[in-house]
Every structure is written in C-alpha cells, then in structure tokens.
Structure 1
Amino acid sequence: MRTVRGWFRDTTGGLPRSFWYLWTGTLINRLGSFVLVFLAIYLTQERHFSASQAGLVIGMWGVGGAVGTTIGGTLTDRWGRRPTLLTAQIGAAALMVALGLARPLWAVALGALLLGAFAEMARPAFGAMMVDVVPEKDRLRAFSLNYWAINLGFACAAVLAGVAAQAGYLLLFLVDAATTVITALIIFARVGETRSVPTGPVVKGAGAPAGALRTILTDRVFLGFVTLNLFAALVFLQHISMLPIAMGDAGLSPATYGSVIALNGVLIVVGQLFVPKLIKGRSRSHVLALAALVMGVGFGLTAFAEAAWFYGLTVLIWTVGEMLNSPSNATLIAELSPGALRGRYQGVFSLSWQIAGAAAPILGGLVREHVGNTALWLGCAVIGGAMAVAHLLSGPARERRAAQLRSPAAPARPVTVVQPPAPEAGEAAAIAPAEPLRASS
C-alpha cells in the first residue's frame, strides 16, 4: 500500500494547480470527442454520401487543420495563449453545431474545413501554455499525465458515442460542442495569460518574434526532428486507414477491428502513468530510437497477421512504442522551442501531424494497391528501423541545441540585440497569472 501511495505521489505530486485545471479541461474535452470518431460512419450511413465524398469531407478537415495550426502558432506568440485558445474553442463549438445541421455536400465540406481550422488552432496555444506553466523538471510527468487523460477520454468517448448515436447523430455534435465550451469556460475562469514579455534585451532569431519564419526555416536541428516525427506519423496513422482494410480482407468484421484497436487505448490508460518513472534519467535519443524500433516491429508484424489475436498482438506491440515516444517527444519539442517563438514552433510541429493525416491514407493505399499488403507493413518496419538510427545520430545535436536555449549566455546562433520599449504600467502584472494553467483541445 505504501508502495502504491509513493508511486502515486511521485507521479502526480508537485505539479502546479493550474496544470490540473488544464488536465481537467483535456479530460472533459476528450470525453466528448464524438464527432471525429464517428464522422466517416455518419457521412456514409446517415448522410448517404459516397465513400469518395466522405473522404473529401475528412480531407477538408485535414486541410483546415493544417491552416489552423499555422495561424494558431502565430497568434499564440503575437496575441497570447489564452485569447487564442478561447477563440479557437468557442469557434470550434459553434462550427461543430453548424456541421451537424449542414445538409448539402458543399456546406458539409465547408463546415469540416472551418471546424478543422478552429479545432487545430487551439493546439499550439495549448502546448505553449503547458510548457509555460510546468517547470522543466516536471514536464515529462506532466506530458505523460495529459497523454493519459487524452486516451482515457477518447476510449470512453468511443463507447459513449455509440450509445449517443442511437438517439440521433445530431446529439453527437451537440455533446461535442458542449464539452468544448465547458473546457473554454474552465480556462476563462481559472487561467490567465502565461506568455511572458521580455524585460531585457531581445534576441532576434533566438527569441524575438521578428523574423520568426526565417528563424524556424533555418533551424535545421528542429526541422530535422519534425521530419522524423512526420515519418513516425505516416507509419502510426496506418492504423486508422490501412489496418481496417487489411483486417477486412482477412475476413474479420468491423466490430472485430473496433475491439482490436480498443486495445491501444486500454494499454495506454493502464500503463502510461508508469512510463515517466521507467524512462526518467535515460537518454531521450535512446528512448526515441527504441520507440521507433518497437513501433516498426509492431506494424511490420501485421504483414503476417491473419487471426484477430495476432492483429491484437501487433497493436499491443506498436502501442508500447507509442507510449515511449509521446512524453519524450513532447519534452524535447518544448526544449527546442525558443520562448518567444514557442507558439510558432508548436504550430510547425503540429503541422507534421496534419500533413501525415492527409498523406498516410493516400500513400498507404498506393503502396497496397501497386506493391501489396505485405510490402506496406514491411515498409513500415523498415521506416521504423531507419528512424531509430536517425534518432541515435541526430540526438547529440538536439541535446546541444536544447542546452544552448536553456543558457542565455550561449545562444544557438549569431544574434542581434535590440533594446525593447519599456512596458506600460500594469503590463507586467498582466503577464503572470496567479494560477497559470495547462489546457487541452
């Protein structure tokens, strides 16, 4: 009993109260994340769109998300974390209802485009806010706890959505919108602006918003890491595009696919809280390399799966890789992001997921159609192995870059110093809220 109590204290203790407000917002939001889970079914069965039309609508969501993360990153740094997050969530809630009421294909596609933009606009602000309020030594635990909440909420949402759909699909949109509004209200009531305004010399290229795009585009270490994440996402997202098709070809029902893929959420909910202690103090590059290798093995074994239990085993294997990857990824992105450009860096990183979301089903389908199912999954294994090597080779440069950003005396690249104007009266007080917070979208 003492061991369990000590583990619980080590896992959850010492985090800012504001983090727990954001964690609660994440859980509530994800508990109501009905629409994306059932959108394809809604479009084809309720709205009677063809598979290609449904694909178009979902693709528009992805395009909107790519635009949203870019805009959200810029607004997060220029306008602030809190107003960006609130605007994105209130806009997403309104568009959620509008999408549920839309009838013509053009209206549904437009609604999906705008909803994707507003929903994803919140991500950079949310990620930046979490980094702002959680001390560096606690970020691994905090990101793991948030990831746990996301998966717990999502797993419950999949079950609840099936029940709610029996009462009508519009209810899915309404409940999803309501939970988004509740999250926004929590932030409005309990979270202040966490963006800091420099009081000393501003370092262009290492922290000043001026020249932000050029700073990111010339940050080869960061872009290299984003590229690796893009390849990881291309492999990982095959589980929602090509995996159900492969299982169908093996004679397994959609219900079986649902049960098999549910193992992903169950394992994360049960095991994710133990991951921070497991990887604490270990080289992040080694952890990320192991994660890539395990994920590659899991997806690669799918080439030999025929029975449901074998598919379930592959899901459990690549889920372990996902669990190792997520917290290390999040903490590293936080350390590679200069403070004044944190929102933009989060936006570029999120953009890699949006690109993968659009490209993964297309590339997976082309490989499967022209080369075969076995080649697709073995290709995923090869990518995982190549990523593992790349993480080992690029790790030292990433850690040097992170160390440079932690040390103001050692900037990462040549800089120009500009003396900023003095803040107006009352501005400093507005910067630091009594209770900083971490949010979710």
Structure 2
Amino acid sequence: MKSLLRLYINSYKGLSPAAWLLALVMLINRTGSMVIPFLGIYMSEELHFSKPQIGIVLGCFGLGSVCGSWLGGWLTDRLGSYKVQIWSLIGVIPLFLILPNFRTFEGLAFMIFSLSLVADVFRPANSVSVARYAKPENITRAYSLNRMAVNLGFSIGPALGGFLAGFSYDWIFYGNAIGAAVAAVVFVYFFRNRAPKSNLQDVHKKSLDKDEAPERSAYRDGLFIIFSVFCCFFSMAFFQLLGTLSLFYKEIHMLNTGQIGLLLGFSGFVIVLFEMVLVHLVEHRFSVRQIMLWGTAIAGVSYLMLNIDFGIAWLFFAMFLLSTGEMLTLPFTATVAIQRAGKRNQGAYMGLNSLSFATANIFAAYLGTYLAEHYGYSTLWLVTGSTLIICGFGFYWIIGKMKTV
C-alpha cells in the first residue's frame, strides 16, 4: 500500500502550480460539457431526426471544430494564448443559452457549427499554455494532468447531464453555459497577471530531429502532416465514443439516459484514477512509438469486444480497455506536436494537431451512423476496431521517421 501511494505521489511530483490551475479551469469547463454525449439521443428522441440527419449535424460539429482549431492556432501565435482562451470561454455562453430554441434540422446544424467553432478556438491556445507553464521534463505529464481534469469533468458531466435530461434536455445546454461562465471567471482570476515560465526552447531541444530548421512551417512539415493524418483516422474511429456508442447502448442494450451517462462517465473515472500513474510508469521505460502502438491496439480491441454480448458488466470492461488505450495514446500526440514546434509557431503546430482531431469529427459521426443504419452495429465495430489497430502501426512507423523519442 505504501509503495502504491508513493507511486501516486511521484506521478504528480514536479508539476508547476500553473499546470494545476490550468487543470482546474479545464475541470470546471468540462464538468459543464454535457451536450455532446447526449446530442445524438436529443436529436433522435426530442427532435425526431433521422440517423443520416443526426450524422450530418454531428458532422457540422466537426466542421466547426476544424475551423476553430485552425483559427485558434493562428490567433494564438498573434494574440497570445490568454486572450484566445478567455474570449472563447465567454463566447460560448450565449450560444449555449439560445441553442434550445433551434429545433429544425437546418437551424440546429448552423448553431452546432457556430458553437463548435467558438469552443474549439480554445484548444490550441490551451495546449500552448500547458507547455509554456510546464517544466520541459514534465511536458507529457502536464498534458496528462490537463487531460485528467478533462476526463474528471467528463465523468461528472454525462452523469449530471443524464440526470438533467430526465427533466428537460434544455437544462443540458444551460448547464454548459454555467460551466463555461465559471471557468472564465476562474481563468481570469488566476492567469490575468501570471507570466509563462517556459518558451519551449528546452523542450524543442529534446527532439532528436536536429537537422531540421526550428522554425519550419507546421503546414509544410511533411512528416508531421502524415502523423496528423494518422491522428485523424485514429479519431474517426475512437470518437465513435461521442456519437454512435450512446445510440448503440440505447438501441441494442436498451439502457436509459442515466445508465448511459454513468457508463460514459466511467471512462473519465478510470482516466482520473490511472492516467497520471500510467504515463509516469511508461514514459521513461518505452519509446513514444511503442506506447502509441499498444494504446491504439488496446482501443481497437475494446471496440471489437462490443460485437460480443455478455451484459452490462462486459460493456464496462470494454469501456475500461478503451480508456486504457486513450491514456496510452492521446497525451503523447500532444508531446509529439510540441516537440516539433519552434518558439514562434507553437500555436500553428498545436492548431494542426487539434485540426487533425477536429477534421475527424466531420466524418466520424456521419460514417458511424451510416454504417449502423445500413450494415448494422456489428460491422461498425469491426471497421472501427480494425482502423484503430492499423493506425497503431502507422504511428509506430511515422514517429520512427520523425526520430521522436
């Protein structure tokens, strides 16, 4: 027990106070993130949209995310990460409040695009802030801490969202607005006069790719673009978690919104408990390419497991494996991106990294609902699991080419 406690303490040791404060802001913001896990069910039950319509609206979320990720990276390099984050947090509040009034297919699609665009301007700016406030040797753990906050919020948010949906779906949108408002207040209070302690010079030196000019353009870095393409395909498969998976739980396993919220929230609970420790254990024992290979393979197996029905306990076990795969993959994608960046184009690299995940959201929901509608969920999970395993080998190959540790 003492050794386990020591392991937990060591996994958090050395993280800067600013890293903890950024995580706190993210926790508050993400606790209010109740819309996306229930958006598909909301459109199906409340608005009576067809599956293709649901896929298109969720695709608009992805399109807005793409535009927001690019814009966020561009603005961060020009205005600084603080201004971009605060205006994003403030900007989503009125959008969440008025969103329940848009109940037509066209109106909701436009609002979801607008909401996603404003919200995802935040992501590259936040990623740059995490790197700038972290010690160079703790970059991956700083990202893990930030993700832990995201997932703690994600474990609370869906459970709370499922509860609120029992009264009215409108309250899910209002809850998101409240979460963004509180996060904005906390962010301004703690970071208004706080100067970053790192400009990533030391982090950049950790990259073994020393022959490249440090200020190369992210959008002309061929190896990083290929890496981003694999991130995109990984995301198209992995983020069925946010769309079709909840529909699968409802239509095939007949779970109610409360049960779905608990099952989705379990993912965040697992990540909060184990991610920091897991990253601490593996980051200095294995290479990034080895870790990401195993992470994507485990995530792929978890989706393949959904084609076997052993009851709700099996669903929780599959979610546990999916969360394990996520813990071994997603923190290191940000590490690869920040190690490729120079001092003046961090926003562009983190923006392109966010862009790869955002682009996937354009196609993921539509492809997922299309496969489920025309070929069944069994085919969907077979394609999803296989794609993730293939991406694992793709990561292993391209990271080796980039000579990233």
* TM-score normalized by the length of structure 2: 0.85
Distance 1:37 1:240, change over 3 A: closer
User: For residues 324-370 of structure 1, what are the alpha-carbon distances to aligned partners after superposition, in whole Å with 9 as ceiling and x for unaligned?
Assistant: 11222222222122221111111111122222112123333444556
- Alignment partner of 2:275 out of 272, 282, 287: 272
Q: Secondary structure at the match of 1:286?
A: helix
After TM superposition, the structure 1 = structure 2 runs for residues 14-413 of structure 1, keeping only pairs within 5 Å, are 14-46=14-46, 53-102=53-102, 106-166=106-166, 168-191=168-191, 192=194, 194=196, 206=213, 215-247=217-249, 250-254=252-256, 257-281=260-284, 282-305=286-309, 307-368=311-372, 373-399=377-403
Distance 2:48 2:397 in 1: 50
Task: For 2:278, give the aligned amino acid.
Answer: V
Contact 1:102 1:108 in 2 (8 A): yes
Q: Give the whole-Å Cα distance in 2 for the aligned partners of 1:328 and 1:59.
A: 26
Instruction: Confirm or deny: 8 A CA contact 1:62 1:358 kept in the other structure.
Output: yes
SS of the residue 2:231 aligns to: helix
Runs (4+) of structure 1 exceeding 6 A deviation are none
Q: Secondary structure at the match of 1:345?
A: helix
For the structure 1 residues 117 and 337, does the alpha-carbon distance in structure 2 shift closer, same or farther, using more than 3 Å as the test?
A: same
Task: Specify whether residues 2 and 263 from structure 1 end up closer, same or farther in structure 2 by C-alpha distance, changes over 3 A only.
Answer: closer
| Aligned partner of residue 329 in structure 2, secondary structure | helix
The higher radius of gyration belongs to: 1
CA distance in 2, matches of 1:83, 1:242: 35
Matched letter for residue 160 of structure 2 = L
Quote how far apart the aligned CAs of 1:23 are.
Answer: 1.0
Q: Which residue of 1 aligns with 2:206?
A: none
Task: Name structure 2 gaps, 5 residues minimum.
Answer: 202-211
Partner Cα distance (2:380, 2:49) in 1? 29
CA RMSD of aligned residues (A): 3.0
Amino acid at match of 1:150: V
Q: 1:52 to 1:184 in 2, by over 3 A?
A: same
Tell me: CA distance 1:364–1:40, structure 2 relative to 1, closer, same or farther (3 Å).
closer
Q: Distance in 2 between matches of 1:44 and 1:277?
A: 42
Residues 105-150 of structure 1 deviation map (CA, whole Å, 9 limit, x = unaligned): 5544332221111000110100111111112211122122221111
Separation in 1, partners of 2:383, 2:56: 27
Q: Distance in 2 between matches of 1:353 and 1:385?
A: 17
Read off the aligned partner of 2:224 and give its amino acid letter: F
Segments of structure 1 that go 5 or more residues without pairing to the other structure are 199-204, 403-441
Query: What is the CA deviation profile of residues 205-251 of structure 1, one whole-angstrom value per residue up to 9, with x for unaligned ones?
Result: 9555xxx7xx2232122112111111211221223444445555645
The 1:399/1:155 distance shift into structure 2, 3 A limit, reads: same
Rounded Cα–Cα distance in structure 2 between residues aligned with 1:363 and 1:171: 29
Greater Cα offset, 286-295 or 90-99: 90-99
Distance in 2 between residues matched to 1:40 and 1:135, nearest whole Å:
40
The superposition leaves residues 27-47 of structure 1 with CA deviations (integer Å, 9 ceiling, x where unpaired) of: 111111123233334445445
Distance 1:295 1:49, change over 3 A: closer
- 1: distance between equivalents of 2:171 and 2:133? 35
Structure 2 distance, partners of 1:312, 1:2, is 29
In 2, are the aligned partners of 1:66 and 1:351 still within 8 Å (CA)? yes
Amino acid at match of 1:135: K
TM-score between the two structures when normalised by the length of structure 1: 0.78
Aligned-pair identity in percent equals: 26
Structure 1 residues 243 and 114, CA gap change in structure 2 (3 angstroms): closer
Count of matched residue positions in the alignment of Structure 1 and Structure 2: 390
Q: Which moved more, 1:40-49 or 1:126-135?
A: 40-49
Determine the structure 2 residue equivalent to 1:416.
none
User: Which amino acid in the other structure matches residue 264 of structure 1?
Assistant: S
Question: SS where residue 226 of structure 1 aligns?
Answer: helix
Change (3 A) 1:217 1:297: same
Q: Distance in 1 between matches of 2:10 and 2:397?
A: 32
Q: Secondary structure at 1:339's aligned position in 2?
A: coil
Structure 1 residues 285-342: Cα deviation after superposition (integer angstroms, max 9, x where no partner) = 1111111221222222323336333333322222211111122222222212222111
**Shift in CA distance, 399/186, structure 1 to aligned 2, threshold 3 Å:** farther
The residue type equivalent to 1:267 in the other structure is V
